[in-house]
Amino acid sequence: GAGVSQSPSNKVTEKGKDVELRCDPISGHTALYWYRQSLGQGLEFLIYFQGNSAPDKSGLPSDRFSAERTGGSVSTLTIQRTQQEDSAVYLCASSPPGLSTDTQYFGPGTRLTVL
Amino acid sequence: GQSLEQPSEVTAVEGAIVQINCTYQTSGFYGLSWYQQHDGGAPTFLSYNGLDGLEETGRFSSFLSRSDSYGYLLLQELQMKDSASYFCAVKGGYSTLTFGKGTMLLVSP
């Protein structure tokens, strides 16, 4: 079946602009996660959704970052007034309910470049 | 908070065995996972240990010792395609994962 998809695959924006990144999780997956990965670095957790609610948004680096999920499916990560340090690959992952291994299935990511 | 330590780089030759270690400090622990990421690709799940001991999946095995806050990923019969970054990750609360910075494995002929 279809995996996690993200759009756009690449986004170049100017400092100060707002951007929206989209994630379509695997159908039936109730959990959805956003991560950020800078060049050569590990994955930095941003936010976790269970259904449409976000019980853990502790990783959002500032109030310029927000995310929502609607219909228990699609999620949008919004970065307002982008800064150069926001440049990174933004990865989305989803996982099905009741999986003991908590396996997360990742999308291909959106590469954000802030000029 | 949570922190994980793993070597930044490991090199090996085709056919060899390599072990990638991971030590962690966590406020809550529910399991240790391993993910593989090829350059420019998405991370993919390799293995999970919820209890102490060894889990084997084909050429890959993973080990956990909760008393030592330590685990490792063992890759056998290395192939060129195994060249990638390998991340250990700890599950804390809310099913969220905290990832290590990753170990780049370079396999040479």
3-class SS of residue A63 = coil
3-state secondary structure B71-88: EEEEECCCCHHHCEEEEE
Using CA atoms of B50, B53, B55, B60 in order, give the dihedral in degrees to the nearest 10: 120
Q: What is the pLDDT of residue A58?
A: 85
Q: How much is the pLDDT for B95? A: 65
Give the chain B residue nearest A55 (alpha carbons). B94
Regions of chain A where pLDDT drops below 70: 1, 99-101
Size of interface A-B (CB pairs under 8 A): 62
Please tell me the predicted confidence (pLDDT) of residue A40.
76
Predicted pLDDT of residue B23? 97
pLDDT score, position B34: 96
Please, what is the end-to-end C-alpha distance for chain A in angstroms? 37
- Residue A100 is predicted with a pLDDT of 63
pLDDT at A42 (0 to 100): 85
Which of A35, A45, A50, A100 is the mutation pick for testing B, counting most B CBs within 10 A? A45
Other Cβ atoms less than 10 A from the Cβ of B30: the count is 14
Are B91 and A102 in contact (CB < 8 Å)?
A: yes
pLDDT given at position A57 = 86
Confidence at residue A25, expressed as pLDDT on a 0 to 100 scale: 96
Q: Which of A43, A100, A101 sits opposite B43 (nearest CB)?
A: A43
Nearest to A85 by CA among A51, A48, A36: A36
pLDDT of residue B94: 61
Which residue, among A113, A108, A59, has the nearest Cα to A87 in the 3D structure? A113
**Cβ count within 10 A of residue B2:** 20
Q: Collapsing DSSP states into helix, strand and coil, what is residue B93?
A: helix
Helices (H), A12-102: none
Counting as low any pLDDT under 50, the low residues of chain B are none
What are the angstrom distances between the C-alpha of A37 and each of A12, A27, A42, B8? 16, 25, 6, 16
A31 touches chain B (CB under 8 A): yes
